[in-house]
Amino acid sequence: MTNKTLTGAPLHPAVEIYVKDAQTGKLSRREFMARTTALGVTSAAAYGLLGLAQPAAAAGHAQQGGTMRMQMEVRALKDPRAFDWTQMAFVTAGWLEYLVEYNSDGSFEPMLLSGWEINDDATVYTLSVRQGVQWNNGENFTADDVARVITDWCDKNAEGNSMAGRMTALVDDVTGTAIKGGIEVVDAYTVRLNLPQSDISLIAGMSDYPAAVYHSSIDRENPANTPVGTGPYMIESNEVGVKAVLVRNEGHEWWGYAEGKGAYLDRIEYIDYGTDPSAWVAAAAADEVDMTYETVGDFVDVFESIGYERSEIASAATLVIRPNQAAEVDGVKPYADVRVRRAISMAVDNSICLELGYADRGIVARNQHVGPMHPEWADVPAIDYDPAGALALLTEAGMQDFEMEISSIDDDWRKNTTDAVAAQLRDAGFNVKRTIIPGSTFWNDWTKYAFSSTNWNHRPLGTQVLGLAYRSGEAWNEFAFNNAEFDALLDDANAIAAADERAIVMAKIQQILVDEAVTIQPYWRSLYRHCKPGFVGWEMHIAYLPQIYKIGIAA
């Protein structure tokens, strides 16, 4: 272990603070890994800083060759920047790779980059492009490609481009494109990003599933038509809703072979069994698939009963069942009154939601959308479960006869959890109506429903989701929560580096969320994948990232 950082540069000054915090237990290991590796520390070195050895890669025991069949929805592909389902990325991951990879232990590993350096105030990023990487059409992969893709990411005007939201610091507010001079090609293998203000989340943004690096010849309507990429596989067929097949790209010398990265399988098949988990079980029982994409709720037991192995990862993925404070029902804004919202929170026992909604597969949360898995989490108690008091409060607000309409998407766990909330409210004496909306329609108005449930995926930092969803005026603020004090505190929390001080601010933030009863956020769910015995490297990823090159058949 000669270098502690990917590029050999000295450690970033913030790393020292993180090490202290981690040693005193203020920073979880996952968070420590995320923060230090994002600053360019190698993951081995990051483990070393904690006095630990890096866990050996399990995939070392894989044999070369073989076929893997995964149950997965096969969706129509589109411009990678606009991907809104990780399933799409699982298909394109065969030939489109990522600059950086985020792992379940929280660390960031370089992929198409060989490393990066960040200056002290996180305004200048120097990205070193991996040398010796080739596109599968024979061209060399260079800094120009990286600059081109990042420029594309910053294009806010492209329909559905969600990468612009991850690259905000590089986007010009006026033109909606990359700021002038922001992306600079220094030499054939170096790109420099110059940001107007500091932002430490760029590396994390580059690791997300829409951040696939594509060739300039890409067909944005359907990338499978022009599968030019750097990855080890080639698409054989892609029948939407039926099946997608990746096969090894024999003529292409993948850079990862030399690095010992893997790509063990010769053939990967994604077979679509629809959205109904019982069909997945039937497929597994009939030996038509080897593993699931994701197993939810009750079906964890079912898969185990037919002899499948389980991979489980505790995550910050969750569900919020929230009233929209600005929603008007029959001319009034029922949920603008904090008493109504408090009454709702008091009438719901989160542990029952977890039991009935997700088969007790997770940990109970406290309606704060920040949890023990986040480094900045403060131990703020939840509101007390008190159905009688809830009704009294609702009556006091004069809303005891108001019919609350609670909407949810039509699926398994989201619907069940929402049903459990509705039933508890009804038990407490509220007047509740349940509405179910098919998956294809649900997202039309997801931020505008008066009272509905939405799932939120895992994000490494607690403040990331608070900033996205709870800050006043944000596009994804489905709560219509508008609180200046909260916004100010959130800015503070983003700036403070030491865990101690941040905990004080976070305690205030979480207390506001509890006092204002912004949402019911009943549990943190664990994510599961099941696989037939005999495979390695197939573990569930905390953020559903498509690391298919790690999968292999056990030797």
Residue 269 and residue 244 in contact, taking contact as beta carbons nearer than 8 Å: yes
**Taking the complex as a whole, how short is the minimal distance between the CB of residue 79 and another protein, in angstroms?**
10
Which tokens in the block code for residue 250?
């024999």
> Within the chain, what is the greatest distance between any pair of CA atoms?
73
**Dihedral angle of Cα 547, 469, 37, 85, to the nearest 10 degrees:** 10
* Cβ distance to another protein smaller for residue 50 or 240: 240
Q: How many helices and strands, by DSSP H and E, does the chain display?
A: 18, 20
Distance CA 438, CA 445 (A): 12
Which tokens in the block code for residue 199?
């932002």
* Cβ distance to another protein smaller for residue 67 or 435: 435
* Cβ distance to another protein smaller for residue 306 or 504: 306
* Cβ distance to another protein smaller for residue 437 or 531: 437
Q: Interface with another protein by CB under 8 A: which residues? A: 76-78, 82, 84, 157, 159-160, 162, 221-222, 239-242, 271, 273-274, 276-279, 281-283, 285-286, 288, 298, 301-302, 305-306, 349, 351-352, 355-356, 359, 408, 410, 412, 415-416, 419-420, 422-424, 426-427, 433-438, 440-441, 443-444, 446, 475-476
Helix (H, G, I), strand (E, B) or coil at 514: helix
* Cβ distance to another protein smaller for residue 130 or 322: 322
Residue 347 and residue 424 in contact, taking contact as beta carbons nearer than 8 Å: yes
* Cβ distance to another protein smaller for residue 120 or 301: 301
**Taking the complex as a whole, how short is the minimal distance between the CB of residue 529 and another protein, in angstroms?**
18
**Taking the complex as a whole, how short is the minimal distance between the CB of residue 543 and another protein, in angstroms?**
18
Q: What are phi and psi of 138, to 5 degrees?
A: 100, -15
**Taking the complex as a whole, how short is the minimal distance between the CB of residue 306 and another protein, in angstroms?**
7
**Taking the complex as a whole, how short is the minimal distance between the CB of residue 75 and another protein, in angstroms?**
9
**Taking the complex as a whole, how short is the minimal distance between the CB of residue 380 and another protein, in angstroms?**
25
* Cβ distance to another protein smaller for residue 31 or 79: 79
Residue 94 and residue 231 in contact, taking contact as beta carbons nearer than 8 Å: yes
Distance CA 46, CA 41 (A): 6
Distance CA 385, CA 364 (A): 13
What type of residue sits at position 305? S
Residue 87 and residue 72 in contact, taking contact as beta carbons nearer than 8 Å: yes
Distance CA 53, CA 31 (A): 17
CB-count burial class (<10 Å; 0-12, 13-18, 19+) for 541: buried
Residue 425 and residue 432 in contact, taking contact as beta carbons nearer than 8 Å: yes
* Cβ distance to another protein smaller for residue 15 or 246: 246
**Taking the complex as a whole, how short is the minimal distance between the CB of residue 278 and another protein, in angstroms?**
5
**Taking the complex as a whole, how short is the minimal distance between the CB of residue 326 and another protein, in angstroms?**
16
Distance CA 446, CA 542 (A): 24
* Cβ distance to another protein smaller for residue 281 or 343: 281
What is the per-residue DSSP string for 408-471?
Answer: EESSSHHHHHHHHHHHHHHHTT-EEEEEEE-HHHHGGGTTT-SEEEEEE---SSHHHHHHHHTS
* Cβ distance to another protein smaller for residue 239 or 501: 239
Closest CA to 161 of 148, 152, 169, 170: 152
Q: Is the dihedral of CA 447, 158, 231, 182 positive or negative?
A: negative
**Taking the complex as a whole, how short is the minimal distance between the CB of residue 89 and another protein, in angstroms?**
15
CA–chain centroid gap for 275, Å, is 20
**Taking the complex as a whole, how short is the minimal distance between the CB of residue 350 and another protein, in angstroms?**
12
* Cβ distance to another protein smaller for residue 84 or 120: 84
**Taking the complex as a whole, how short is the minimal distance between the CB of residue 532 and another protein, in angstroms?**
16
Distance CA 234, CA 416 (A): 39
